[in-house]
Amino acid sequence: MKEIMKITDALCQALQCQSQDILNAMNFVSSTKALIQKFRDEKWDNLLTTVKSFCEARDIDVPDMNARYVERGGLARFQQDDFTIEHHYRVDIFYAAIDSILQELNHRFSKHAVELLNLSSALDPKEARESFRSIDMLLLVNKFYPKDFTNQEMTLLKTEVDHYEHNVVRHPDFKKLSSISELCQWLVKTRKSLFYPYIYGLITLVLTLPVSTATTEQAFSAMNIIKNRLRNKMEDDFLMDSMILYIENEIAAKFGIESIIDDFRDLKERRVPF
């Protein structure tokens, strides 16, 4: 775990930066996956040698790695003869731990999500000043926001992009912008959002990404708190209602008990008045 944490530390630091650089963060994701995979494929022998040296220096018994492994609590006659202790540590522990981390990275940073963020970085003023990637802006719409733009709007967007490069990217004040949110505010302030409505619309769509991600993370955190070991048989409807109340606790705090009772009473008629 110490070796794995050395590899993942740079990614953790990049993702915690308040001023997030999307492109560099995604580069760290790709390099972290590659380095962890390389560690899995090539570093077992080095790790085993290091562990043996650590144990020998501290008089810790090292088992014979070529000996037959017998699962604790199991019967030897029911297990394979070629299943060695070395195989147990390498496959059941080393590979299993790394595969679990890679699976989590692929789940949180899938190729689809990485491509979305890389294409979105074309709207970043810092990236646009270095190299204006008009093709990436159009690919972003085609691949991820096709339902937000009609065919006619896509045609108009292509024309907007050409004018945007000359009239916005090359504007002197554009060099002072450092983020997509600042770009959005500047377009509204200078009324350029009225002349580039489709690019402005694309920028606002990209700005919603952190909000949607934060909401998802909140939902998973709330689920771990609400549906714990003692309440693991909670049904989906009740769990969903409880999560909404937990996540939106500031709004829920504004509802009084009397108003809740009145709403419950008005849901349907009852034989006995509530």
Dihedral class, residue 211 (left if φ above 0, else alpha if ψ from -120 to 50, else beta): alpha
224-231 average pLDDT score: 67
Question: What's the pLDDT tens digit per position in 169-192?
Answer: 999 999 899 888 889 999 999 999
CB-based contact 116:137 (threshold 8 Å) = no
Structure tokens at 61: 């018994």
pLDDT band, residue 142 (cuts 50/70/90): very high
Exposure string of 243-262, with b = 16+ CB inside 10 Å and e = fewer, is beebeeeeeeeeeeeeeeee
Question: What's the pLDDT tens digit per position in 48-81?
Answer: 999 999 999 999 998 888 888 877 655 555 556 6
Mean pLDDT of the chain: 82
Residue 261 predicted with pLDDT over 60? yes
Q: Is 2 strand, coil or helix?
A: helix
Highest mean pLDDT among 18-32, 112-126, 173-187: 173-187
Terminal-residue alpha carbon distance, the chain: 59
Predicted local confidence at residue 273, as pLDDT: 66
> Strand pairing partners for 68?
84
How many contiguous H segments (helices) and E segments (strands) does the chain have? 15, 0
CA dist 229 and 107 (Å) reads 25
Helix axes 111-120, 209-226, angle to 10 degrees: 140
Share of the chain above pLDDT 90, in %: 32
**Of 69-83, 103-117, 162-176, 194-208, where does mean pLDDT reach its minimum?**
69-83
Residue 9 predicted with pLDDT over 50? yes
